[in-house]
Structures are given as C-alpha cells and as structure tokens.
Structure 1
Amino acid sequence: MGVAEQADARGGARFVDVSDPELYRADAWQVPFRRLRQEEPVHFFETSLHGPYWAITKHADIMEIELNDAVFSSASEWGGIQIQDDGDIARRKNLIRMDRPEHTGHRRTVAPIVAPTNLANMTDLIRQRTEAVLDGLPRGETINWVDHVSIPLTTMMLATLFGFPFDEREKLTYWSDVGICDVNAPDAPVTSEDERRAVLADMAARFRELFDERAARAPSFDLISMLAHSDVTRNMDAETFMGTVMVLIIGGNDTTRNSMTGGVHALHDYPEQDRLLRSDPDLVRNMVSETIRWQTPLQHMRRTAREDIEFRGKTIRKGDKVVMWYISGNFDEEAFEDPDSFNIARPNARRHLSFGAGIHRCVGDRLAELQLRILWEEILKRGLRISVEGPPERIYSANIRAFRSLPVRITV
C-alpha cells in the first residue's frame, strides 16, 4: 500500500495524497502537509484513495470552515464527518453527524456528564485509579505503556461515564477499536465491513439491554440513563442508537488514550522538556495542551458543501467533500512558532485544533484534559522515570492517530 501522489493543477509538481493511511502508520505525514501549506493550502485532489476531496491544511482556514456550519455540513445525509464515504459506518447518524437544530438537542442530552460540577465530583475517583495503575506497574522491565496504562485508565473512565458493568469494561475498548479501524490494515481487529457490522450489532444489543433497564427506573447520572430519559433521544431508531453509542465510546476513548501515550513518546524525543517539567511541575497543565496539539489524536474532520462558495480563491461546489486536516493545522508555521518542536511552555498551546471548534467542539474536552493532568501529576509525584525502549507501533488509519504499542521501562 504505497503513498499515492497526484499532479497539481499546473501539471508539474506532485502532491502526496494525504488521505493515505500508510502516511500515519509510517509517521511520514510532516513533509507532504508542509508542502501543501506552503504551495497550495486549499488543494483539490481529483483522485485519491477516498475519491475527490478538498484538503484544507492551514489553521485559520480550518477554523473558518469549522465556524461556518451553515455552509459546511456534518450531517450523515450530506456524507458525515470522515473522508471515507462508503459503508454504513459513514452514513450512521450520531450527534457529530448532525447539523443544527437536530444536533443541539442531542448535545444537550449528554453534556451534563462532563459539566464542571461533575468533573469536580469525578476528580478523586480518577486520581485513585491513576494511583493504583501507576503503583501496580512493574519496575525495571519492558512493558507496553498502551496496554498497562493508557487502555486501563480510559476504559475504566468509559465504564463510569456509561454506568457500564465494570467487569465487562474491556468490551468498550474492543468496540472502539473495531469502530475506528481500517479493515484493510493487516492487524485490524476485523477484516471486513460485514464483520465490523456484526460486532457493532452485538455492541448495540448489549447497550439496548442497559438502555431498557435504565428507562424502566428513575434517572441516574450516567450516559445511558441520560439517553433513555431524554425526550430527544429516548426514541432513537436502531441506526441512530448504534451511531450514538459508537461515537460516545470513541470520543471518550481515543483522544485521552493516545495522548497518554503521545506525551510519553514526546518527552522521550525531547528530553530537555522532560527535565523542564520535573523542575517545574506547574507546567503540567500547559504540557497537557501541548501534548494534545503534538499528538492530534483525531487527524481530520470532513464537511460537505451545501452550496457553491468561493474560498481562498477556489470555487468549492455544492456536494464537494471538504476535509479539514487538524494534524496539519496544528503544525502550521503561521499559527505556532517552531511547530515541529515539542514545547511544554508554548504560550498558545491551547490554540490547537484537536478538539475542533464551533458547535462540534469536543464535548468531553475538559474531561480529557483532567485525566491527562492527573496522570502526569501522579507520575511526577512518584518520581517515576519512563524510558522508551524501542520505536512505537502506530495504527494504519487516516482518521485516528493512535499507538498500538510503546515499549517502556519504569524506574524511580
């Protein structure tokens, strides 16, 4: 699976098709995006692995499109939010595959779970679990940080948010992996769309059981109960129900899980930043923002033009696929000084695009930041030294920038 290239409108130089998942598994996306930003930041790929699309690569341009939801649609009926537009995964409705006003009611239904008051109530529990995971890590032997830290912490949090049976929580990780995987990847958990559909049908059936149980009793403060008791969501059709559950699982898993691993890897690549963090633990909050910028767990979001529009001298036609490459905007030289460096004191680290913007800004952004902040506070409190023992293994995906493994050795 090679990296695709395409002649530009001038017929000379060629641009790499940045929708090729191999770019991200090989961690080879930096140069192609830098060239697009410098030479043609709004570029139309006539052919690609996923059909024709506009690549939006500058921070300011991405923000403008994000905030113009009247013209640029996220709705399933227009194609959804991923560059892929085939298969019923892309067509399935959920709150981030809806436009206003439908989107508003669905977002309001789930938003209370991550309201400031509830985050304050969950802080002690998150810290206790983080302490237990870190204290249980073997010292002096090579382990996979993803399996020993990132997955356990995010899976426990997901189970809590849903009120999902704790002894079944590993299913949540599996369903998330199935939902986001590229079935063409050699190590994908499923190998066909039919197999994915069957797994997600099992997921929906289990959640429907829990949904019906919660609907039959007084409301409780968890996502399933909120969906079951809301006038907006209690009567969702089967496809919207499956899509809603899927996006809540993925949204509660991937940003936090991969940023937990990404921070370890970044500090390994920039040891002077590790020394700075240990000398000034007050930098943890900003380090979290810089990690989320640096990692960019969600690499792109797609919109579809509802009408013809002139944008940066280009004519985007009604129905055109418009792909906002967050991973490029987060490394835009005009938005961030020396963007290729990991800098935990970066003054504008919070300007990153990893949570999106506008009506579709990640509803769980503060929870993700809280989990990451607590993890690094507890690492520093214990004086843990995390030595990366080999290269990371990244997944084959143009959607999620994720780690399958990162070998580390823990010492004090």
Structure 2
Amino acid sequence: MSVRIDLVDQDQYADSGPPHEQLRWLRETDPVHRHDGDPPFWAVTRFDDVVHVSRHSELFSSHRRLALFNEMPEEQRALQRMMMLNQDPPEHTRRRSLVNRGFTPRTIGALEQHIRDICDDLLDKASGEIDFVTEIAAPLPLYVICELLGAPVTDRDKIFGWSNRMIGAEDPDYADSPEEGQAAAMEVYAYANELAAQRRANPRDDIVTKLIQPDEKGETLDENEFDLFVLLLVVAGNETTRNAASGGMLALFEHPEQWERLVADPALAAPAADEIVRWVSPVNLFRRTATQDVTLGGKQIREDDKVVVFYSSANRDASVFTDPEVFDIGRTPNPHIGFGGGGAHFCLGNHLAKLELRILFEQLARRYPRLRQTGEARRLRSNFINGIKELPVVL
C-alpha cells in the first residue's frame, strides 16, 4: 500500500483538520518517518516516542532552532530564544520557576467563581443564532487573561486581534503576511511594557505584579523576559482554550449521543474536558532539534536534524488508548498529551485550561440542552494550531 504523506500542507488542515489517516498509517508502519521538506524532518507519531522526545531536552532541543515548525533567520531566532517556549534547561528551569508563582493551584482555584461568572455573562448576552467561536469560545479565555494580567476587560478585543494575527499568519482571514504577525508581536511587547510600568508604580494583587517583583532568591524577570512571557500568555492562554472549546463543541455536535450524556449528567464535564483536549489536540505539533546523533524508533537521527512531534497522532495511539477513534466524554483513564508530553515544556496553564473547559461545558449543558449546529464549521489554515474560525449554532 502506498500512501502520500504530507503532514504540513496548510490547505489540508483548513479543509479537514489533521490528516488522521496518514498519521494512523505512520504509527503502524513508519512511526519515525523521514518527511520531505526544506529542510527534511523526522515526523514522530507514536505516543511513547513523542513522550521520549518531550522529556529529553538534552537530546532534543527547543533552543537550537526554536520550537515552532517554520525556519527563521538567525537574527530573529536570537530574540525568540528569550521566550520560555524556545529554551532548554537550565535557563528554562530558572525562568519557569519565576513564572510558576503566578500559576499556583491556589491562584488558579481562586478563579473558579470568576470563570463561572464570565461563562454566565457570555451565555446571558448570547441569544438565537450566533457564531460559537467569536461569541463564546474566544471571549472566555480573553476575559480570563485580562483578569490574570489585571488588564481592563475592554482590552480583550485588542488581545484577540493580536493573537489572531500572530497565529493566523498563514490564513488570509487573519493576516496578509508573516510580517503582520511580527508587527502584532511588537504591539504586544509595547503593551506588556506599559502594564509593567503601571504595576511598578501601583502594585496590585495580580500576576503582573507578582512577576515583576523579586522571588525569595531575589531573582526577577528582566524587561525582555517579561514582555516575551506576556506574548506567550496572550497566544498560549487564548488559542489553546478557545480552539479546544470550539473543537469540543463541534465534536459534541458530531457525536450527539455524547451531548445527551452531558446534558443528563453535567458532572461529566470534568472528564469531558480531558477527552476534548485529547480528541481536538489544539496544538498539533512542535519542533525540536537533535543535539547529537541519536536513535529513535529504530531510525538514526543525526545532530542538528529537525524532529517534529505530532500530538494529534500520539493522542490516538491504540497502544495507549482503548478505541482511540471513539469520542467518549467519560473516558478514564485518559493519559492524553494534549498539554505536552511531560518534561520541561509541559503546559504551565493546563489546570486553568481544564477549569475553563469544565465550567463552560457544564454551563452549556445545563442552560442550553437543545443547542444545535446550524452551518458548516470553518477551520484555520494552520498546521500548528488545530483551530476553528467559525461555528454557527442556535441556542
């Protein structure tokens, strides 16, 4: 059997999402696959191999050539390497320990009622036929980010626009060119600078104040580090939750028996949040670079080779998940790696994302049991974020 393998064709993602047929064939036939490209790369598709790459930063670096798929000129890489996403231990460990102060279980737990109020407010304002993405899935994490940053809620539209332009640089609906994404990033830096200056003058009980103050060892984030963290929060804190929510809603429409289960028992929203992240895999891939010659899945990988892990594939690996092609909101256990495969870069905001998804789907099931889809979902043209731009529904 010959299968045409192209795991990065943007148009394919815009048309139908991740290429699950190709990914299944690779898992079963060639799990560490030498994929054509400029440069060529190793496509890692099995759960155990993705976890191995994720947990061995000393062998598979985020720093050498960054963590995003596309190649960048060296002068751009130099700035990007200051972002946690593109660092390896020990520098990454230092930075993460500083940022962790804003994401303790206590800090996140204190947001539960606030998130419930946000969901109620969004559902109170929505009526009749709406676009689920722009009226519910997108505003929820934006409101929460504004709360975390202590930024006025009126800034959410600005944050939404910046995030769209950075992530949607390959999608004509969001950005005309990659340069527009870079311009949006510069606007976020300026915004972060302004927030930090305000908190230095007037400290408050928010994450910005925590992050610009020294920790118990007297260490603090410098100006560039802080700006880049806000950039990461604006993208990672918004895009993943927004696309898990809209992708999860679409999955529930496509599996109406699961929606009926949730309506009958809204407490299933907790395991449903994990199953939605597994099924949707909002982040499709990340890139690493081999730091030395290494063997993976029986293949000889050379130093400086490009290695790309596919979470959307690992999360449907039949050696780990029973009936992985079945969407089951009560699935347990559910050891998905939709928040990363462990190791240094495990998602800092995973508890927050799950909290937002649990509360949203619990409220939807309670308040709108007859919610239904009224038109085609439109997907983002991106091989990085498994995103949905539009999902017409009627409440």
Letter of the structure 1 residue corresponding to residue 375 of structure 2: G
Give the whole-Å Cα distance in 2 for the aligned partners of 1:54 and 1:233: 37
Instruction: State which drifts further: 142-151 or 104-113.
Output: 104-113
Q: Does 1:111 align with 2:96?
A: no
Q: How does 1:266-285 map to 2 (within 5 A)?
A: 266-285=251-270
Q: CA deviation at 1:203?
A: 2.1
Give the whole-Å Cα distance in 1 for the aligned partners of 2:317 and 2:6: 18
Does structure 1 conserve the Cα–Cα contact (< 8 Å) formed by 2:169 and 2:177? Answer: no
Secondary structure of the residue aligned to 2:7 is: coil
Q: Does 1:56 align with 2:44?
A: yes
Over aligned residues, Cα RMSD in angstroms?
Answer: 1.9
Letter of the structure 1 residue corresponding to residue 166 of structure 2: G
Give the whole-Å Cα distance in 2 for the aligned partners of 1:192 and 1:99: 30
Q: Does 1:355 align with 2:342?
A: no
Secondary structure of the residue aligned to 1:24 is: helix
Secondary structure of the residue aligned to 1:16 is: coil
Q: Does 1:22 align with 2:11?
A: yes
Q: CA deviation at 1:51?
A: 2.3
Q: Deviations over 1:164-197 (max 9, x none)?
A: 22222211111111221233x332x222233332
Give the whole-Å Cα distance in 2 for the aligned partners of 1:205 and 1:34: 44
Tell me which stretches of 4 or more aligned residues in structure 1 moved more than 4 Å.
87-91
Letter of the structure 1 residue corresponding to residue 54 of structure 2: E
Instruction: Give the unaligned 5+ runs of structure 1.
Output: 1-11
Aligned to 1:86: 72
Aligned to 2:172: 186
Give the whole-Å Cα distance in 2 for the aligned partners of 1:221 and 1:51: 47
Aligned to 1:167: 154
Letter of the structure 2 residue corresponding to residue 175 of structure 1: W
Does structure 2 conserve the Cα–Cα contact (< 8 Å) formed by 1:329 and 1:353? Answer: yes
Give the whole-Å Cα distance in 1 for the aligned partners of 2:167 and 2:189: 16
Q: Deviations over 1:94-153 (max 9, x none)?
A: 1121111111121122223221111221111111111111122113xx210001101111
Does structure 2 conserve the Cα–Cα contact (< 8 Å) formed by 1:113 and 1:221? Answer: no
Aligned to 2:213: 229
Aligned to 1:34: 24
Give the whole-Å Cα distance in 2 for the aligned partners of 1:260 and 1:130: 12
| Alignment size in residue pairs | 387
Q: Measured at CA, do residues 284 and 18 of structure 1 come closer, stay the same or move farther in structure 2, by a change above 3 Å?
A: same
Aligned to 1:143: 130
Q: CA deviation at 1:277?
A: 1.8
Instruction: State which drifts further: 17-26 or 208-217.
Output: 208-217
| TM-score normalised according to structure 1 size | 0.89
Give the whole-Å Cα distance in 2 for the aligned partners of 1:309 and 1:340: 32
Q: Deviations over 1:19-75 (max 9, x none)?
A: 222221112511111111111000112x32x52111000011101111111211111
Aligned to 2:317: 332
Instruction: Give the unaligned 5+ runs of structure 2.
Output: none
Task: Pick 1 or 2: higher relative contact order, CA cutoff 8 A, min separation 6.
Answer: 2
Aligned to 1:393: 378
Aligned to 1:69: 57
